[in-house]
Structure 1
Amino acid sequence: MFKPLAVYILAAIAEIAGCYSLWAVLKLKQSPAWLIPGALSLCAFAWLLTLIDTPAAGRAYAAYGAIYIAASIGWMWLIEKRPPDLWDGAGLILCLAGSALILFAPRTA
């Protein structure tokens, strides 16, 4: 259980960092050089998801979605200084429960 969670957390950090590099260039008028580490970060994100032990890529991506939502809410709270409200928290709990169900459900095949 802990290995997939660690991989998903690292993937979320890599994805947010990669996406933020494009945001920084387009919205914050940073140097296009930001796109180089951003592209590498997005490659690391994609590679990390291949480490999830499942025969179906779609299942790994679907389960990852909740981790990304959690990381995004954390970003909003810690970086943008906008605390999540009750609905953010409730939605996140639903997403995490769904992710756990997708990833850890007993399967016969």
Structure 2
Amino acid sequence: MLVLKTFSLFIITALAEIIGCYLPYLWLKKGGSAWLLLPAAVSLAVFAWLLSLHPTAAGRVYAAYGGVYIFVALIWLWLVDGIRPSTWDIVGVGVALTGMAIIMFAPR
């Protein structure tokens, strides 16, 4: 249960971060409205709050979160940008998620 809860929280956290960064990208690069910055700021604040919900040391959470971020970013690449991840992208995600699991769930 801990593994599923941790992984799910990391996925939601990654979505908050990606949305918080994607909205300014739309404004800066795609001619979107400056009003996109308001939900972007809220999304980034939610991202920071979500990271604080993990019961372990902040540095460990940040390090492990990076692996899940890579996973979610490649799903975003596929679903939002319309670019299918390469075999090497998938291999890299496997390595990153293995690192996340070692960092978060190794016996202490």
TM-score (norm 1): 0.94
Structure 1 stretches of 4+ with a deviation exceeding 2 A read none
The correspondence for 2:45, drawn from 43, 46, 50, is: 43
The correspondence for 2:13, drawn from 11, 14, 25, is: 11
Shift of the alpha carbon at 1:10?
Answer: 0.6
Over the matched positions of the two proteins, sequence identity in percent amounts to 47
Q: Following the alignment from structure 2 to structure 1, what is the Cα–Cα distance between the partners of residues 63 and 97? A: 11
Count residues in correspondence: 106
What residue ranges of structure 1 are gaps of 5+ in the alignment? none
2:82 counterpart of 1:78: no
Equivalent positions of 1:17-36 (< 5 A) are: 17-36=19-38
Q: Following the alignment from structure 2 to structure 1, what is the Cα–Cα distance between the partners of residues 90 and 83? A: 13
What residue ranges of structure 2 are gaps of 5+ in the alignment? none
SS of 2:84's equivalent in the other structure is coil
Shift of the alpha carbon at 1:101?
Answer: 0.2
Q: Following the alignment from structure 1 to structure 2, what is the Cα–Cα distance between the partners of residues 3 and 85? A: 28
**How well do the aligned residues superpose, as a CA RMSD in angstroms?**
0.7
Shift of the alpha carbon at 1:53?
Answer: 1.4
Q: Following the alignment from structure 2 to structure 1, what is the Cα–Cα distance between the partners of residues 77 and 64? A: 21
Counterpart of 1:83 in structure 2: which amino acid? Answer: R
Shift of the alpha carbon at 1:4?
Answer: 1.0
Aligned to 2:91: 90
TM-score (norm 2): 0.95
Shift of the alpha carbon at 1:64?
Answer: 0.4
Q: Following the alignment from structure 1 to structure 2, what is the Cα–Cα distance between the partners of residues 65 and 40? A: 21
